Structure 1
């Protein structure tokens, strides 16, 4: 996979990709998560323009997955990683996270953070295998993200915030 900055004309494709990736949540009964609308085009465009939205493109240069980040509390917060079901199981999510790690290292950011589901196998346990550890205490920015997730209807008891030191930092 070639990882590159998303193109403006791909943003609707990323919304469709996000919805397709949500099917896995439906399969485990998490229909609210599966039915959650993808980020608005404006959110994608803001991240793209800021250089914080990348795609993993297949051999035909079509997005197979994407990662969207934001800067939170002097670190890089992985807001969303999604891989289309047709491409899952090929370590694309891992490649996207490693790309973000290298990007963060090049800019001097010391940590990557993310929030995820504690018990969903391809969430908390997966990120732990990638070197993320659960945060016992949230920074102010991460606490704001938790409040937004809770307002959306996510159970804070089922959510965890995780941190990984950026390679070389």
Structure 2
């Protein structure tokens, strides 16, 4: 596996990865999440141009993208907006490698940690992130930027299921 910055030609493939990664939510009765449209190309391009969009390529399949991560600095930390792994590449450490790569880039930028928001009761969400070093943030710990993100998520209907903000220190 190789991690590299996303190129313009990759962006439609990231949408395909997102659609495939959403399918397992159906088994949890979260059809709205499974049916949710992936990030628009112009949004993906904004992350790409900022240098905050990375893909993981499968070495064994002609460099085919199998996962991606997008994010941006928010209140002194790198906020992971989305990390998605194609189900065909699941359980091989691809997401963990992308997060480690993002942590290295965050450190290079002088940021102190990683943040994300996620579902608490989805096994491959909050429980997974806790296993790789993230911790849930309490309400008083939320920064203004994280509060704004959570408000946008609630407006989008994501609070229908329990969610949490999480943080991991970048060392």
Provide the TM-score with structure 2 as the length reference: 0.95
Length, aligned pairs only: 167
Q: What is the alpha-carbon distance in structure 2 between the residues aligned to residue 157 and residue 73 of structure 1?
A: 26
Q: What is the alpha-carbon distance in structure 1 between the residues aligned to residue 158 and residue 84 of structure 2?
A: 18
Deviation string, structure 1 residues 59-103 (Cα, Å, up to 9, x no partner): 211111000011111110000000001100101000000000111
1:161 aligns with 2:165: yes
1:112 aligns with 2:114: yes
Other structure's SS at 2:115 match: strand
Q: CA deviation at 1:156?
A: 6.6
Deviation string, structure 1 residues 17-43 (Cα, Å, up to 9, x no partner): 100000010111100111111000001
- 1:26 maps to what in 2? 26
Provide the TM-score with structure 1 as the length reference: 0.96
- 1:41 maps to what in 2? 41
Q: Note if contact 1:70-1:76 (Cα within 8 Å) is conserved in structure 2.
A: yes
Q: Note if contact 1:146-1:156 (Cα within 8 Å) is conserved in structure 2.
A: no
Q: What is the alpha-carbon distance in structure 1 between the residues aligned to residue 48 and residue 25 of structure 2?
A: 26
Q: What is the alpha-carbon distance in structure 1 between the residues aligned to residue 52 and residue 160 of structure 2?
A: 26
Other structure's SS at 1:164 match: strand
Q: What is the alpha-carbon distance in structure 1 between the residues aligned to residue 161 and residue 137 of structure 2?
A: 13
Other structure's SS at 1:22 match: helix
Deviation string, structure 1 residues 119-158 (Cα, Å, up to 9, x no partner): 1111001000111011012111001110111011112760
Q: CA deviation at 1:106?
A: 1.3
Q: Note if contact 2:119-2:161 (Cα within 8 Å) is conserved in structure 1.
A: no
* Unaligned segments of structure 1, at least 5 residues: none
Other structure's SS at 2:158 match: coil
Q: What is the alpha-carbon distance in structure 2 between the residues aligned to residue 70 and residue 156 of structure 1?
A: 25
